[in-house]
Amino acid sequence: MVPERTVGMTQTLSLLPPQLMTTPPLLTMTGVSRRYGDVVALHDVSALVYPGEVLGIVGESGSGKSTLLRMMNLEDTPDTGDYRLALPDLAGNLFGLDRFARRMLCATRIGIVYQNPHQGLLMQHTSSGNVAERLLIAGERSFASLRARGRTALEASEFPLDRMDARPIELSGGMQQRVQLAKAIALEPALLLLDEPTTGLDVSVQALVLDTLKRLQRDGAITMVIVSHDLGVIRTMADRVMVMRRGRVVEQGLSDQIFQDPQHEYTQQLVHAKL
């Protein structure tokens, strides 16, 4: 029997201990290891990402953070490891999927923004065409709706619509990133991966792109994983931070915790160097 106490005349207050939010994680990665010859790129890395949260991954160059992101996008398979996404009709280790299922999954459920737009965009096609390609892979075959959905996605990533039929090669770096972003969110993916999305942009454009990302995250409650060596970006964006070094996770925790009270020696250096 739950003890109850009457507050005032009508209100009742439950005296149960506060309930924990028990949403299962969207992304579960356990024990992922990968070697390239003698180089250990990842060693026994595990990661959890909860729905609607932003996980930041920081680390120096060569720490394995981009490799980890590539694994999350199923572009590479690890030597050992398990990767699951809590999505309907998607059971089992995703590393075990065949090429076809993998491509479908990447196109429809996972969005990715690369540091280098050349990697993520078809430079000889138009910007709206780049977004349309995603929709076409997912089976959209109506021209009118391709056009409309492309426009919506570009609008959501705050791309100037009068340039939607320009080729990305003719656009500035910031705009190219917006096209990549529009392409990534066109199918409303469950997971958005960002690989150094603002590196190479000047500070003001960087701020604008981060603004857009922040707004997307707020509006759509998109789950994001953002990789950066820039602590400023991670601090602005991430709820939780994972610090990587030499293919290992050295520390993880809430953003504030990591930045205010770093425990690991390397994290301390990193935070200190930033300040």
Partner 1 sequence: MSIASLTKAWQPMSYGFLDASAKRELRRKMLKAIAVPGCQMPYASREVPMARGWGTGGLQVTLTLLKPSSVVKVIDQGADDSVNAASIRSFLSKVSGAAETWDTLAASLIQSRHRIPEERLHAGQILVLQVPNPEPLRPVEPNMSVARQMHADADYGRLWLILYEQIVRSGRIMEGAAYPSVVNGRHVMTPSPIPRWDVPKLHMAQHLTFLSAGREKRLYAVPPFTKVEPLVFSDVPFKVEDHGALTCHRSGVSGFYMNEIPQDNGGSAFELSDSHLGIKAIRKAEGEADRIGATWYRNGQLA
Residues 124-153 that bind partner 1 (CB under 8 A): 125-126, 128-129, 132-133, 136-137, 141-144, 146-147
Q: Check residue 161 for interaction with partner 1 (CB under 8 A).
A: no
Lay out the site mask for partner 1 across 11-50 (x = CB under 8 A, - = otherwise).
----------------------------------------
Under the criterion CB under 8 A, does residue 122 sit at the interface with partner 1? yes
* Residue 112, strand partner residues: 193
Segment contacting partner 1 by CB under 8 A, of 23-31, 66-74, 122-130, 201-209 = 122-130
Provide, rounded to whole angstroms, the least separation between the CB of residue 101 and partner 1.
11
Minimum CB separation of residue 30 from partner 1 in Å reads: 29
Q: How far apart are the first and last CA of the chain?
A: 54
| Residue of 220, 229, 221 lying closest to 200 (CA atoms) | 229
User: Please, what is the Cα angle at 110 between 237 and 81, to 5 degrees?
Assistant: 95
Which C-beta is closer to partner 1: that of 116 or that of 145?
A: 145
Longest dimension (CA), the chain: 73
**Residue 96 Cα distances to 80, 104, 190, 220, 246, angstroms:** 11, 14, 20, 30, 26
Strands (E), 73-206: 80-85, 110-113, 191-195
Closer CB to partner 1, 120 or 129, in the complex: 129
Report d(CA 258, CA 95) in Å as an integer. 31
Instruction: Tell me whether residue 13 or residue 138 sits nearer to partner 1 (CB atom).
Output: 138
The residues of the shown chain that bind partner 1, judged by CB under 8 A, are 99-100, 103, 122, 125-126, 128-129, 132-133, 136-137, 141-144, 146-147, 165
